[in-house]
Amino acid sequence: MTLQHIQQIMLEMAQDNSTLKTAFEQLNQNAIAFPQNSVVVSPILKIIQSSPPNISCCESCITIPFPQQYSNQIQGLSRDVADSLGGATVLPNFLGWWKNQNGEIIPDQLVVIKSFTQVKNLANNWEKLLASIHYWGKMCQQEEIAIEISVFASGSVLLLISIES
């Protein structure tokens, strides 16, 4: 039985039990809305629930590694991400490796562009973000760009975006 099943059973019991119903109402007044399948360790959940009401759950994150030598293009892409999703963070100095067509392993200095947003906002801006990734990828003569989309409590997916020449 999952946590979600237990929560559903308790909510059904609260319909007929005034004490449980009152307890849930009081809990919900201070609770933060977490996605359905979320699992938060109890002591941490208590700290979060007792925090000010201006804290909310951020549902998704997009991560874009990009070659560090293209500083103007990094600024352009990160501004596009910030414009679409409400913010972006550029993390410098990552070392990456890739295999070229000759089978040689090539080192590459990378930055990582991250943005945290709500799932709906990411979905609504997906086409705009994809167009931006294609545009800046072409400017830097990249063959492919890997991006990671993480959704809270649902894991993540890594997408390999082929950049048309």
Q: Is residue 48 domain-shared with residue 12, that is, in the same domain?
A: no
Residues 68 and 91 in one domain: yes
Does one domain contain both 87 and 157?
yes
Q: What percent of the chain has pLDDT over 90?
A: 42
Domain of 12 in residue numbering reads as 1-31
pLDDT tens readout for residues 121-144: 998 999 999 999 999 999 998 888
**What confidence score (pLDDT) does residue 157 get?**
84
Q: How far apart are CA 68 and CA 71, in angstroms?
A: 6
HSE, side-chain direction, 13 A CA sphere, residue 25: 8
Q: Is 135 in the same domain as 72?
A: yes
User: In which band, very low, low, confident or very high, does the pLDDT at 55 lie, cut at 50, 70 and 90?
Assistant: low
Mean pLDDT of 57-70: 88
DSSP state of 152: T
Q: Is the pLDDT of residue 62 over 80?
A: yes
Identify whether residues 14 and 59 lie together within a single domain. no
Q: Are residues 92 and 15 in the same domain?
A: no
